[in-house]
Chains A and B, each alone.
Chain A
Amino acid sequence: MAHTECCDTNKTITLTIDGTDVQVPAGTTILDAASKLGIKIPTLCYLEKISTTGACRVCAVHVEGVARPMTACNTPVKEGIKVTTQSPELEQIRKKTMELMLVNHPLDCPVCDAAGECDLQDTCYGLSVSKQEYAADLERLQIRYDWSLLESDPNRCILCEKCVKVCREITGVGAIETQSCGDRAVVETISGKPLDCDFCGNCIAACPTGTLISKPFKFSGRPWSFEVKNGICGFCSSGCQIEYHVQNGKVARVTSDDSTYNNGNLCINGRFGYSAFNAPQRLTQPLVKGVDGIQKSATWDAALATAVSATKEIVAKYGAAAVAGIGSPRVTNEESFLFAKLIKEAVGSANLDSEARLGYAQAQELQAKMIGMTGATKPMDALEQAGCIIVLGSDLKAESAGFGYRAIKAATKHDAKLVIASARPTSLDKFANSSLRYKAGSEGFVAMGLAKAAINQNKAVAAEGLDAFKQAVSATSFDQIQAATGLDEAAFNDAVSFINGQVAVMYGFEFIRSADAAAAVTGALNLATLTAADVYPIDEKNNTQGMLDMGVAPAAGGKDLFAIVEGIEKGEIRCLYVMGADLLQLPNSRKIAAALQKLECLVVLDLFPTATAQLANVLLPAAAAPEKAGSFTSTDNRTQSFTAAASAPGEARPDLVILGDLYARLSGGAIPSLAALQQEIKPVVKKKLERPALAFTAPQAHAAGSMTLLVAPFLRHNGSYTSWSENNLLVAAEAVVRLGAADATRLGVKDGDNVTVTASGASVTLPVQLRDGIPAGLALAPTHFPASGISGLMTKSASLTVTIAKG
C-alpha cells in the first residue's frame, strides 16, 4: 500500500536496494520497492490492507546517510537513496529484537492453536533466533475465556496491533484497543467487558500468533491436517472468496486470503456460519409423508417416484397450471436454471417465482426498465473511487457486509462523503456526513426529497426527462415531504451538499421492502440518474441476483408468489415445489400456512426441517454451498464458480442432482449434467443505458400509527440460514424487539423484559433489547428467526403499525 496518498504518486523515484536500482512510484515504501526486486525483508506487524504500524521493528534496514535503522514497512522511498537490507548489523538488530519479543513469551506452542501457521514461529525460524540473552520478571496476563466465539491469550501477544487496526479500519467497529502501559500493554475491549462486536473474526485472521483464536475451531486440528479448498461464500450477496478447511468431509473452519477480491475480509456469517452446515438438524435422508400424515424415511428412488407420480397425476387431472414452483436465492445459478426448466418445461407450468417477489424482483424489473440493467452497474470495488456514496434504506453490514466494508474504506481512506438515509440506526452511521433518519414507510418521499434538493442545489445533471420530472416533483412541497418523513428541507439540502465526484447510490432492504416500494425504488433510481451515479441494489442473500438472471420468475401468464399462494387457497394450485425456501417465515405466514395445508402435493428440497419442510409430502435433503459445485452471482453481477469442498451429510444430495433426477423422470429425457447446463445457460449480458430517463411515481402517504415495527436484517445473522448455526446463535440467540430509550421508558421496560407486539389480530411476546439511536415510535425486530412468529404479524412490507405492551 502506498505510504501516503497526498503525494504525487505519478512521479517515479529511483533508488538502490542492495546495490540494484529500482524505479517505483513516489509514496511507495522501501518494503514494497524491495519486494519489486524480489528482496524479502522480514516483517511481523505489516499488513497491506491496514495503515502501517511499525511495531515489531523487525523490518529494519539501513539507509545510507541516516544514522539509525529505518523500518522498511512504513518508510517511503526517496530519490537516490541507497538501502541495505542485509548486513551483520541488521541481522543483529533483527535477532535481538526477536529475542526481546520472546522475553516471557509462553512456550505453549504444543497446545497453541497457531502452531504451524504462526508468523512468530516462522520469523524466529527464518532469522535463526536460537538463544535468549534477555530476561525480565514474569507477569502473566489474564486469558479471556469469557468472550464468545473468540479467545484471547494476551501472553502470546506481540502487540503488532493488526487486530486492533483491522477491527477499526476494515470493519469499522473499533471494539478492541491497546490498553495499559509497558510490558503490561494488552489488547483488550475498550470497555474491559467481554467482547461485544460484529464477531466477524477478521482479527483472528490478522493475528500473527495464537493470541486471538476461534473458540469453535480450538483443538479441532492442526492447520496442515485440513484440506483447504476455495469457495464462494453462500450467505450474503457480497460474493466473498473463501477457503473451506475440510476434515473428514466436514467444514472445520472458513478463512479468506488477503489476496482475494474481498481482501480476506469476512463477516460473522462467512467465518462462523459454517456450523449451520454441520448442524445436527441437517436433513440426511428423503422423507415421504405417509397416509398417517407422518413423514417417514424413504429411499431416493421411492421419494422421487412419489413426487413425480403425484405431480403427473395432478397435471393429468387439472393441467400443468395446477403446479407451481418456488425457487431459492440460496442455490447455484445452474440449479436455479434447472429448477426453472423443471417447472416451465418438464411440468409445463408458468407458475414460478421466489421470495424475491417481496421486493427485489420488482426493483430489478424497474431497474431494467429505467436504467437498462439489473444488479449493480459497477462491481463493488468501484465504490472506492466514489466521491459520494448515498445509502438508501440499508444497514450495509447487516444486509451485505462486503458492501459495508467497501463503503467504510471509501469513506475513511478515499475521502468519499457518505450520506445514509435510513429509518433505523445503521452500523455505518458513525462514518456518515449526513444521516437522514426518516419514518419507516416514507421511503418514496425520502427519495423525492433528495431528488428535489439535488435539483434545487444544482447538484443534478441534465438528465433525460428533467423538465417533466421537475414539474412532477413540484407538486409535492417540502412541507408535505416533512410531514411524511419527519425530515425538513434543510436536512435534504445538507445531504445533497455532499454530492461530489462520482456518486454511488446504494439502496437496500427498507427501500426494496417498503410499503411504498415502487415509489421508493423509482425514486432511488431517479436520484441515481440525476447524479449520474452508479447504482447498487443490496440484497441479503447470496444468489438472489443469479436466481433472477436464471429466469426464476413467472413465465408469461404465470402466477407470482402472491398469486401462487392465492391459487393454492382457491384450489387452482394443488402441487407445489419449494426449493430452499421457508414460506412460513414470509409475511402473512398464517395465511400461507393455511394455504399449504390445502395442497395435494408439496415437494420440498431443503437442508433443514423448516416449518415448510415439515408440511412436505416429499422432503428431499439437499446439499449446502460447500457441498456442491456451481456458481453464484452477487448483486454487483460478479458470477463466480466453485467446486465442491465438503460432503453432504448422510444421503443428502446437491439440488442439481435432485432436480436433474426429477427433470428426467418428469420429462422423460436424460439427466442434464452440470456441464450441459452451463452450455445451455446463455451468457447474461448487461449494459446500462447511456441516457437513462427519469420516471416519476408519486409516493403514497401512509397513515402510520403511533408505533411502527420494522422487521429487518440484524447484524450477526443472515436470513434464517444462520438460525441453524450454533456459532451465530452464541452471539444472537433469539428474536428480540429493539427499542429506543424513550419508548422503553414509556412502556416501563428495561433490557431483557418481555413485551407483547400485536398487529392484525396476532401477537408475539419477545424480550426487549435497548439500543441507542432508535427514534421514538420505532421498534425493530429481526428477520432471522422463523419460530419467533414475527412474520405472522406482517402482511407484505417490512414495516407495520403495531401496538406494544409490557409483559
Chain B
Amino acid sequence: MAQVVFSTWGGTVVDNRTVTGEPVAASYRLPVAFDGQQPLRAMMGWDGVIVFDKDVDVPAMAAEYMQRVQTLFCCGKCTPGKKGTKVLADLLQKVLKGEAKPGDLDQVADLNVLLQNCKCTLCPSSTKPVLDAVTHYRADFEALCDGSRQPKNEKYLHKITAPCMDKCPAHIDIPKYIEEIKNYQYSDALATIRENMPMPAVCGRVCPHPCEAACRRKNVDDSVNIMVLKRTASDYEWMHKMQHPANTAVMKKKTIGIVGAGPAGLAAAYYLALQGYRSTIYETLPEGFGGGMVAVGIPAYRMPRHILQRDIDIIQTMGVEIVYNCRVGKDISLAELKAKHEAVFLAPGAHRSKPMGVEGEDKGYKGFLTGGIDFLREAYMGRPTGMGKKVCVVGGGNTAIDCVRVALREGAEESVLLYRRSRKEMPADVWEVDGADEEGVKFEFQVLPTKIIVDANEQVTGVECVRMAMGEPDASGRRRPEPVPGSEFVVECDTVIPAIGQDADLSFIPPDMGIDISKWNTVITKYIPLKDAAGKGLNDSMGNPLSRTLITDCDGVFAGGDAEIGPLTVVACIGNAHRAANVIARYLEEGKAYLTEQEIFEDLLTYLGVYDKNESVAWLDSADRAGQKEVHGKARASKGNYQEVELGFADSTAQAEADRCLRCYRMAMVAL
C-alpha cells in the first residue's frame, strides 16, 4: 500500500515523516498513478496538502501553486484576492530565489486571515494548502531562505473546479455563467453554458441538476437555483430574437456517422462541428421528432417542442446533417456506416422498456401497453396510444410520473401510479411527484402488482396487487420491501402501463464487429487503468470504469450516452458525448484515442469529491432561494393541454438569484 507521508486533507493532520514505527494509516480517494502510469506524488488543494512521496519539494510546490492561482485563475475582482495572492505569490517566489527572510513567512498566516474576507472562494481556499505547507514544512522553507538548499524542478498539473461544476456531469462552468447573469450578460452566460452544454434550453428545464445537490450555498441555507438560471440565459436568446453565434471552424474532410439524434448524438455532433468535423446523424424517427429521449420521453408540458427544436436546429446549423427515418441495422447497416465515415459514434439511447415480471404481461392483452417510454412516444407523435379511461402506471421513476401526467392530458379519467416502495423512496424527482399530485394523479405506494386481470375478451379490467412492508434487514443491512400475506387487492383499470425502466436495444450491432456488450446491455468502451492504493479499479457512480476513452474494441467506433453509461440523465449523456467528441477529434487528427491530462484530472476530482456537505460555510442566510413561477390547478393537465407548466424567472429575479452564488472556485494541483 502506498504510504501517505504527510497530509492535512480532510481536517486531519497525518505526519509520517519522522515516524519510526508503524506509519499512521490514511487513504484518500485518489489513484496511485495519475494516469495509470505516472505516480501521483503529492496534491495541493482547497482542503490542504497530501504528500505521497517524501522527495516532493513542498515549498516549491506551494510557491508554484500560489503563482498559478494568482496568474491563471484569480479574477482580480476583489482587493484581498487580487492583491493578497499577488503578495503571497511574490513572497514565495522570493523564498525560492533565496531572497526572503524567514520572518517574511509570517505574512502567510496574516494574509490567510485577511483573505477570508474575499468576494469568492478561490483565493481564500488557495491559502489553505500554502499555510499548511508553511506551518508544517517551515524548516524546508527556511532552508530556501538562507540559500542552504535549492528548489527542485518538478512536474505539476493543475485543475480549476468548483463543487457544482465538478458534480455537473457536463462540467459546465457554473459559477462563471451565474456571475454573468448577475452582471446582466445573458448572452455571455449562454456562451459559457454552451462550452459544455449544447442543449441549454433542455437542461435549463428538465435536468435533475445534481449541481444543486453540491451547491455550497446549501450549507448556508438553500442551493442556488442553478437550473432555472440556465433556462434564463437560454430563454433570453430566443426571447430577444438573437441568433446563436455561427460556427467559425474551418470544416475538414473527415466525417463522423452518429447513431441516434438524442442528447448524446447531438452533443457529439455539435462539439465535433466546433472542431471542424461534419457529422451525419442517423435517426430512426421522422423529421420533427429529433431529440431522442428528450423528445419521446419528456412530455411537452415539461419541454416545449419549439424550444427543443430550436436547440436541434442550432446544432444543425453548425454543420450537422440529420438523416431521419433511418434505423441503423435496418435501413443502413453499421458496417456500411463504418465504411462511409472515418469514425462512428454509437448513441442509440435506451428506448426498450423492461418487463415488469408480472403474471400475464406477455399475453398480449388489450389494454396492457408495452411500456412507459412507448406510451410517451406514441402520445408525443400523436399516434393512438391504446390507452383507455382508467390508467394504471407501474413504476417510481420520472418516466412513470411522466406517464401518469400524460395519461391525464391524453384524456384519462383516472390516472393511478403503483409503486412498491414509499413516496420518499421514489427515484423520480420530488417536484415531478408533487406536480402529478397537484394534477390529480392517485398514488398507491408500497404495492406490488402480481397479476393482470382481464375479461373474456382479453381486455384488461384490473391489476391484482399485494401490499408491501419493510422486511428485516438482509445480510447487507438493507431492508427490502416484502409482500404482506393476505393483503391482496385489485385496482380496477382498463389500461396498464409498465414503466419499470429502459435499456438499450443493441441488436443493430453485429456480433462480428468486435464490439463488446456488457451484461447490463451497454456498449463496453476502453478505459484508463486507474487503481487505488488497495489495487482496486476506480469506478464512477454507475459502476463503470472512471476514466473512459469511449472507443470500443472495434477501431474507429465509439459509443456514448445511455447505451454506454447505462440509462441515466440528459446531462450525463451530454457530458459523456462531449468527451467522446474530443476523443474522436484526436483519433481523427492523430490516429490515437486518448484522454488528456485535464480530462483525467477532471475524473479524478469527481472521484475525490469537491463538495463537502459537512463543511461549515460562514455566510449570512439572508437571501432566500427563488423558485420559478408555475401554472397551478388541475386545468393545466386537462385533455390536450401540453402548455408548459413551469414558467422560469423574470430577469430581475434571475439577477437577484444569481447574486446568491458564493462562486466556489478552487484549484487542485498535483505533483507527478
B contacts with A, residue count (CB < 8 A)? 51
Whether A97 contacts B117 by the Cβ 8 Å rule is yes
Whether B71 sits at the interface, judged by CB under 8 Å, is: yes
B298 to chain A, nearest CB (A): 25
Contact with A along B80-100 (1 / 0, CB 8 A): 101111110110000000000
Contacts of B89 in A (CB 8 A): 136, 182
CA distance A4 to B240 in the complex (A): 24
Q: Pick the contact of B117: A69, A161, A174, A412 (CB < 8 A).
A: A69
Whether A97 contacts B75 by the Cβ 8 Å rule is no
Contacts A67-B618, A134-B107, A413-B652; A55 near B623 (Cβ below 8 A): no
Whether A489 sits at the interface, judged by CB under 8 Å, is: no
Contacts of B659 in A (CB 8 A): 3-4, 51-52, 74
Whether B656 contacts A4 by the Cβ 8 Å rule is yes
Contact with A along B608-645 (1 / 0, CB 8 A): 00000000101111111010000000000000000000
Q: Which of A229-237, A303-311, A429-437, A779-787 is the contact stretch?
A: A429-437
Whether A78 contacts B622 by the Cβ 8 Å rule is yes
Contacts of B616 in A (CB 8 A): 67
Whether A78 contacts B621 by the Cβ 8 Å rule is yes
Q: Which of A4, A158, A161, A168 has the most CB of B within 10 A?
A: A4
Q: Pick the contact of B626: A6, A55, A101, A414 (CB < 8 A).
A: A6
Q: Which of B179-187, B268-276, B456-464 is the contact stretch?
A: B179-187
Whether B71 contacts A182 by the Cβ 8 Å rule is yes
Whether B74 contacts A182 by the Cβ 8 Å rule is yes
CA distance A70 to B79 in the complex (A): 14
Contact with B along A84-101 (1 / 0, CB 8 A): 000000000100110011
Q: Which residue of B lies closest to A411 (CB)?
A: B651
Whether B522 sits at the interface, judged by CB under 8 Å, is: no
Q: Pick the contact of B77: A63, A103, A185 (CB < 8 A).
A: A185
CA distance A75 to B659 in the complex (A): 10
Whether A415 sits at the interface, judged by CB under 8 Å, is: yes
B652 to chain A, nearest CB (A): 4
Whether A159 contacts B76 by the Cβ 8 Å rule is yes
Q: Which of B74, B78, B79 has the most CB of A within 10 A?
A: B79
Contact with B along A51-63 (1 / 0, CB 8 A): 1111111101001
Whether A101 contacts B240 by the Cβ 8 Å rule is no
Which residues of A from 4 to 63 have beta carbons under 8 Å from B?
4-7, 51-58, 60, 63
Q: Pick the contact of B241: A60, A103, A434 (CB < 8 A).
A: A434
Whether B33 sits at the interface, judged by CB under 8 Å, is: no
CA distance A135 to B622 in the complex (A): 37
Whether B653 sits at the interface, judged by CB under 8 Å, is: yes
Whether A178 sits at the interface, judged by CB under 8 Å, is: yes
Whether B116 contacts A68 by the Cβ 8 Å rule is yes
CA distance A169 to B87 in the complex (A): 33
Whether A181 contacts B74 by the Cβ 8 Å rule is yes
Q: Pick the contact of A5: B73, B183, B239, B656 (CB < 8 A).
A: B656
Which residues of B from 584 to 617 have beta carbons under 8 Å from A?
616
Contacts of B239 in A (CB 8 A): 433
Contacts of B619 in A (CB 8 A): 66, 68, 70
B588 to chain A, nearest CB (A): 33
CA distance A81 to B619 in the complex (A): 13
Whether B71 contacts A134 by the Cβ 8 Å rule is no
Contacts of A182 in B (CB 8 A): 69-74, 76, 82, 85-86, 89
Whether A137 sits at the interface, judged by CB under 8 Å, is: yes
Contacts of A77 in B (CB 8 A): 622
Contacts of A6 in B (CB 8 A): 626, 650, 652-653, 656-657
CA distance A352 to B317 in the complex (A): 61
Contact with A along B403-418 (1 / 0, CB 8 A): 0000000000000000
Whether A591 sits at the interface, judged by CB under 8 Å, is: no
Whether A348 sits at the interface, judged by CB under 8 Å, is: no
Contact with B along A160-181 (1 / 0, CB 8 A): 0100010011000010001011
A287 to chain B, nearest CB (A): 53
Contacts A3-B623, A100-B87, A181-B74; A93 near B117 (Cβ below 8 A): yes
CA distance A4 to B657 in the complex (A): 8
Q: Which residue of A lies closest to B120 (CB)?
A: A54
Q: Which residue of A lies closest to B653 (CB)?
A: A6
Q: Pick the contact of A159: B82, B110, B114, B185 (CB < 8 A).
A: B82
Whether B184 contacts A51 by the Cβ 8 Å rule is yes
Q: Which residue of B lies closest to A61 (CB)?
A: B620
Whether A75 contacts B82 by the Cβ 8 Å rule is no
Whether B119 sits at the interface, judged by CB under 8 Å, is: yes
Whether B114 contacts A93 by the Cβ 8 Å rule is yes
Contacts of B87 in A (CB 8 A): 100, 103, 134-136
Whether B582 sits at the interface, judged by CB under 8 Å, is: no
Contact with A along B106-135 (1 / 0, CB 8 A): 010010001011110000000000000000
CA distance A356 to B117 in the complex (A): 59
Which residues of A from 110 to 167 have beta carbons under 8 Å from B?
133-137, 158-159, 161, 165
Whether A702 sits at the interface, judged by CB under 8 Å, is: no
CA distance A184 to B73 in the complex (A): 11
Whether A76 contacts B618 by the Cβ 8 Å rule is no
CA distance A435 to B239 in the complex (A): 11
Whether B196 sits at the interface, judged by CB under 8 Å, is: no
Whether B620 contacts A63 by the Cβ 8 Å rule is yes
Which residues of A from 179 to 237 have beta carbons under 8 Å from B?
180-185
Q: Pick the contact of A66: B83, B85, B107, B618 (CB < 8 A).
A: B618
Whether B621 contacts A55 by the Cβ 8 Å rule is no
CA distance A165 to B114 in the complex (A): 26
Whether A57 contacts B241 by the Cβ 8 Å rule is no
Whether A55 contacts B78 by the Cβ 8 Å rule is yes
CA distance A55 to B624 in the complex (A): 22
Contacts of A101 in B (CB 8 A): 79, 83
CA distance A136 to B84 in the complex (A): 9
Contacts of B576 in A (CB 8 A): none
Q: Pick the contact of A57: B79, B90, B107, B183 (CB < 8 A).
A: B79
Contacts of B83 in A (CB 8 A): 100-101, 103, 134, 136, 183
Q: Which residue of B lies closest to A74 (CB)?
A: B659
Contacts A103-B83, A134-B83; A75 near B74 (Cβ below 8 A): no
B208 to chain A, nearest CB (A): 24
A118 to chain B, nearest CB (A): 16
Contacts A7-B624, A54-B119; A100 near B70 (Cβ below 8 A): no
A437 to chain B, nearest CB (A): 11
Contacts A181-B76, A183-B82; A100 near B656 (Cβ below 8 A): no
Q: Which of B73, B117, B240 has the most CB of A within 10 A?
A: B117
A786 to chain B, nearest CB (A): 37
Which residues of B from 188 to 220 have beta carbons under 8 Å from A?
none
Whether B655 sits at the interface, judged by CB under 8 Å, is: yes
Contact with A along B641-668 (1 / 0, CB 8 A): 0000000001111011101000000000
Whether A183 contacts B652 by the Cβ 8 Å rule is no
CA distance A70 to B117 in the complex (A): 7
CA distance A6 to B73 in the complex (A): 32
Please, could you name 19 A-B residue pairs with CB atoms under 8 Å apart, sorted by A? A3-B659, A5-B655, A7-B623, A52-B659, A53-B77, A54-B119, A55-B79, A63-B620, A67-B618, A71-B119, A78-B621, A97-B114, A100-B80, A100-B83, A134-B87, A135-B87, A136-B87, A181-B76, A182-B85
Given A5-B653, A134-B83, 18 further pairs, Cβ under 8 A: A3-B656, A51-B183, A51-B184, A51-B659, A57-B119, A66-B620, A71-B117, A74-B659, A77-B622, A78-B621, A100-B114, A135-B90, A136-B87, A168-B183, A181-B74, A185-B76, A431-B240, A433-B239
B positions within 8 Å CB-CB of A: 69-80, 82-87, 89-90, 107, 110, 114, 116-119, 182-185, 239-241, 616, 618-624, 626, 650-653, 655-657, 659
Cβ-closest 6 pairs across A and B: A185-B76, A78-B622, A4-B656, A100-B83, A183-B86, A67-B618
A positions within 8 Å CB-CB of B: 3-7, 51-58, 60, 63, 66-71, 74-78, 81, 93, 96-97, 100-101, 103, 133-137, 158-159, 161, 165, 168-169, 174, 178, 180-185, 412-415, 430-435
